[in-house]
Amino acid sequence: MIMKSNTKLVFPQQSYDGLGLAPDVLTDIFDYLQDGDVQKVVEFGSGSSTGFLLSCRHTYDLEFSLDSFDHSTEYCFKSPSSHDNFNLMIRDLVQYTDEEYLEILNSSNIPTGSLFSKENYGDWRAKNVFYAIEEGDLANCYDLVVLDGPNGNGRSVAFRYLVDRVRTGTKIVIDDYHHYPFVESCKKILNVKLLKKINKPDFHPLHGYAVLEVI
């Protein structure tokens, strides 16, 4: 893969204020994209990082498709133009009982759950909540996973959806890994190894991300 000359990574402003993936997270993601082995990317939590991914794809002549999930038409990525091989899927949020959530972590079943009230979409610590993934939403196999939504512990539900949809070598980037036991849940559901855990509280008090690789 040949990179265009005289180009450098440009990070969105949200990367510096704690509302988007930090520059070091985006740099790691870019490095994984550049290895030439990434054909399909899935992103849980759409926003400034979505724009970054699409910009990198164009600027550096990268070839990958992007599936991006979010529940908010207000805060998701918005583009003035269309993009090929890009699917933005706005989905309701589903909330699981504690029993259903444990079932997701400990078995191959994903219960139906119940719709999470849209009046509570601003709750940054919503419990057991994840996107209402529909049949056909997810591709057969992803080479890179970016987990940055929704807020709360329910992000771990993503790992159950990713069973049989990742391959050896797939990288899984988890933002805010230290807020809940996301790494432990990922290891429990998928056959992965931890590549790194990064915390930079001097950059932002909430900064932290982890990268795992499917083995």
Q: Which of 210, 178, 208 is nearest to 192 (CA)?
A: 210
Enumerate domains of the chain plus CATH numbers.
Answer: 40-71+83-214 (3.40.50)
Q: Which residue has the tokens 């959806």?
A: 161
The confidence band for 7, taking pLDDT boundaries of 50, 70 and 90, is low
Element (H, E) at 158: helix 157-161
Does residue 1 register a pLDDT over 50?
no
Taking 70 as the threshold, does the pLDDT of residue 178 lie above it? yes
Instruction: Taking residues 184-200, report their average pLDDT.
Output: 97
Residue (of 160, 108, 87) closest to 130 by Cα position? 160
Name which residue leads in pLDDT, 208 or 5.
Answer: 208
Phi, psi of 97 (to 5 degrees): -65, 165
The string of pLDDT tens digits covering residues 119-165 is 888 777 889 999 999 999 999 999 999 999 999 999 999 999 999 99
3-class secondary structure, 192: strand
185 burial (CB, 10 Å; 0-12 / 13-18 / 19+) is buried
Q: Record the pTM.
A: 0.93
Distance CA 142, CA 86 (A): 14
- Strand 129-131 with 93-95, pairing: antiparallel
User: Which position has the token pair 């949809």?
Assistant: 165
- Kindly indicate the confidence band of residue 202, based on its pLDDT and cuts at 50, 70 and 90: confident
The pLDDT score that the predictor gives to residue 109 is 94
